[in-house]
Structure 1
């Protein structure tokens, strides 16, 4: 059909042009809104600036067509062939491009917000600075595509193939990239805040300087990736593969990465404040120094030898163990849980419930925490429900005060000055925090009437280097069955005095190996 005839029919109200052949036609600037051009052949045609809103181009051929600046809002381009077409600055909002062929198509600065590009083939396409906000690209092939500076906020890229794609400085905040293929992709300086990358393949990808705050990278594969200078604060890296990954000077503040594989990774200069350092695979890790300052401002730099780095990234969690010389009953269990719940509402470091082992004669509470720095204050809180809790707390305060008073005498060597400053700063802050605590306000009703909480206790702290420190043991602990199995007689015969404090050298060794 000739162009003139085609345009005359359209002007007369005809809209169905299924299968029409308009190859090499010049239709620039024309209005074809609402026309049915399904299966039409428009290859090499000029449609630049044309109004094609709500046009049906299902299975149409548009190879090498010029559509720059065209209006294709809500157009149906499903299964259309647009290979090497020019769609620069075209408006494709809410357009349907399901399974469209767009190999090496030019879409520079195109508007594709809320468009459906699921399963589309965009291999080698140029989408530089395009807008794809809330677009559906599930299962799309974007391998080797250019998406530099592209806005993909909230887009669906589940299972998409972005192998070798250029995504530097792209905005991918809030995008769904679950299971996406991103091998060797360049994401340098991209914004991936809050993105969902669970199970994504990012092997050998360039993520230098990328913003991954609050992103979910659990089970993702990042082996060999470059994350130098990246911001991963508060990100989820649980069970993530980071083998030989470059994390030098990356911000990992409050990251959750239990189960991550860091074998051979480079963490020199990483910001690691409030980061759990257990449950990790760290063989062959490279880490010359780390930043443990709360704001990542390098105010607390710690240099590590190879051996110190190995111990720094340990595989055990700090634990508070309380052994009670009585068997736990249901009423006491309820009161204990209620008390610890009240404490956790004010102290987030106490949020994990205690694991409880109940025997015929004794009960063992194990409270696992995320940081060595919280051991003393959490032990102080954990002792609150027990009758000898005040004595436990007095012991803890005495231990901390001894460190304050005798630290300079104990650490005289030049090489230990950094350890001295680290320990004393932590102790001073812990004492300050403890003085604000009012343990009595957390106690569950009737707790003082229950026999379980009157029983003798033993409290031991174990740091992340698996060193133990016994902070309290009741003099009557373990002696309940000594005198004819009569507990009352034993109470009358043995005074309730507290155990002597641990030797100062044991206290300092415990603190030095806690990496506070």
Structure 2
């Protein structure tokens, strides 16, 4: 069908163009908003700056399509093929992209806030600098994806595959990352306030200087992680594992650390005022000049820990295990 025929039908009020073949057609700058193009062939079509808002493109073939700057807001793209498509600076706000194949697609600078990419296939996709606030990426395949400088505040990433993904300079405030394996990743100086990171593998990761206030990290593994000078006050870290981690000078005030494993951890100069360390394991931990004023340490294991010059005022040690611990005055507890 000729493009002129499509425009004529569209201007006459027709919106049904299902299963149409527009491969390699030049539709740049055209207004086809609200049209139904489901199961259509648009491979390598030129759609730069076109208006496709609220269109139906269900199961359509857009492989290699050029969609630079296109308006795709609230479009329905469920199970569409966008392999190798160029979506640079495209507006995909509120779009539905369930199970869409975006392998090798370019989405640099695209607007993707509040988009659903549930279980989408995105290996190697370029999302550098994209606005992904509130995006649903649960179960999505983002292996080797370029996520540098993306805004992922409030994003849902639980169950996503991020192996080999580039994550430099990303924003993750309030994001859902539960259960992910991001060990060794550099999270330094990031705003991770209220981020959901429970059950994660984060051993060897770098969080130095980051804001983790009120973060959820229950049962996460952070062995040998660098958490120096982080803000973790009022965090939820019940059952988390910090073996040999560095938490020096960090703020852990009023943090829930019940049953956490902090053995051989560097907690020098840490603020643990009002923290709950019930049944926590601090065997061999370093707590030089740490503040534990008002901390709950019932059943906590301080065996062999160093508490030299620590502030224990307002702390009830009667139910704590202190065998072999160096007390604030330098004496060894027997």
Whichever structure has more helix as a proportion of its residues is 1
Correspondence 1:124 to 2:116: no
- Quote the Cα distance in structure 2 between the aligned partners of 1:94 and 1:85: 19
CA shift, 1:32, in A, is 0.9
Q: Which digits, 9 at most, give the CA deviation of each residue in 1:410-442, with x for residues without a partner?
A: xxxxxxxxxxxxxxxxxxxxxxxxxxxxxxxxx
Number of the residue aligned with 2:37: 37
Distance 1:263 1:141, change over 3 A: farther
Instruction: Say whether the 8 Å CA contact 1:163–1:183 is kept in structure 2.
Output: no
Correspondence 1:243 to 2:246: no
Number of the residue aligned with 1:405: none
CA shift, 1:372, in A, is 4.0
Please list, as runs of the form range in 1=range in 2, the aligned pairs for 1:258-277 lying within 5 A after superposition.
258-268=258-268, 270-276=270-276
Structure 1: state its 5+ residue gaps.
Answer: 295-306, 314-370, 377-460, 468-508
- Quote the Cα distance in structure 2 between the aligned partners of 1:90 and 1:50: 10
- Quote the Cα distance in structure 1 between the aligned partners of 2:221 and 2:243: 9
- Quote the Cα distance in structure 1 between the aligned partners of 2:78 and 2:185: 27
Number of the residue aligned with 2:14: 14
Q: Which digits, 9 at most, give the CA deviation of each residue in 1:458-494, with x for residues without a partner?
A: xxx7274559xxxxxxxxxxxxxxxxxxxxxxxxxxx
Number of the residue aligned with 1:94: 94
Distance 1:195 1:373, change over 3 A: same
Number of the residue aligned with 1:217: 217
Whichever structure has more strand as a proportion of its residues is 1
Number of the residue aligned with 1:74: 74
- Quote the Cα distance in structure 2 between the aligned partners of 1:157 and 1:283: 35
Q: Which digits, 9 at most, give the CA deviation of each residue in 1:39-63, with x for residues without a partner?
A: 2222222211110101111111222
Q: Which digits, 9 at most, give the CA deviation of each residue in 1:77-114, with x for residues without a partner?
A: 11112223222221111110111111232222222222
Deviates more, 1:2-11 or 1:204-213: 2-11
- Quote the Cα distance in structure 2 between the aligned partners of 1:164 and 1:244: 25
SS in 2 for 1:7: helix
Number of the residue aligned with 2:291: 292
- Quote the Cα distance in structure 1 between the aligned partners of 2:184 and 2:64: 29
Correspondence 1:374 to 2:314: yes
Number of the residue aligned with 1:200: 200
Number of the residue aligned with 1:26: 26
CA shift, 1:76, in A, is 0.3
Please list, as runs of the form range in 1=range in 2, the aligned pairs for 1:315-464 lying within 5 A after superposition.
372-375=312-315, 462=318, 464=320
- Quote the Cα distance in structure 1 between the aligned partners of 2:322 and 2:262: 21
Q: Which digits, 9 at most, give the CA deviation of each residue in 1:301-359, with x for residues without a partner?
A: xxxxxx9972549xxxxxxxxxxxxxxxxxxxxxxxxxxxxxxxxxxxxxxxxxxxxxx
Distance 1:66 1:183, change over 3 A: farther
Number of the residue aligned with 1:402: none
CA shift, 1:245, in A, is 3.4
Instruction: Say whether the 8 Å CA contact 1:170–1:191 is kept in structure 2.
Output: no
Please list, as runs of the form range in 1=range in 2, the aligned pairs for 1:48-59 lying within 5 A after superposition.
48-59=48-59
- Quote the Cα distance in structure 1 between the aligned partners of 2:269 and 2:322: 25
SS in 2 for 1:462: coil
- Quote the Cα distance in structure 1 between the aligned partners of 2:314 and 2:278: 15
- Quote the Cα distance in structure 2 between the aligned partners of 1:74 and 1:44: 22
Instruction: Say whether the 8 Å CA contact 2:269–2:291 is kept in structure 1.
Output: no
Alignment partner of 2:305 out of 285, 297, 310: 310
- Quote the Cα distance in structure 1 between the aligned partners of 2:287 and 2:224: 19
Number of the residue aligned with 2:233: 233
Query: How big is the alpha-carbon RMSD for the aligned residues of Structure 1 and Structure 2?
Result: 3.3
Q: Which digits, 9 at most, give the CA deviation of each residue in 1:94-139, with x for residues without a partner?
A: 1101111112322222222221111112222222332222222222
Number of the residue aligned with 1:162: 162
CA shift, 1:34, in A, is 1.0
- Quote the Cα distance in structure 2 between the aligned partners of 1:137 and 1:22: 30
- Quote the Cα distance in structure 2 between the aligned partners of 1:213 and 1:42: 47
Distance 1:292 1:276, change over 3 A: same
Number of the residue aligned with 1:346: none
CA shift, 1:150, in A, is 2.3
Distance 1:8 1:218, change over 3 A: same
Distance 1:11 1:205, change over 3 A: farther
Distance 1:87 1:200, change over 3 A: same
SS in 1 for 2:41: coil
- Quote the Cα distance in structure 1 between the aligned partners of 2:268 and 2:64: 50
CA shift, 1:214, in A, is 0.3
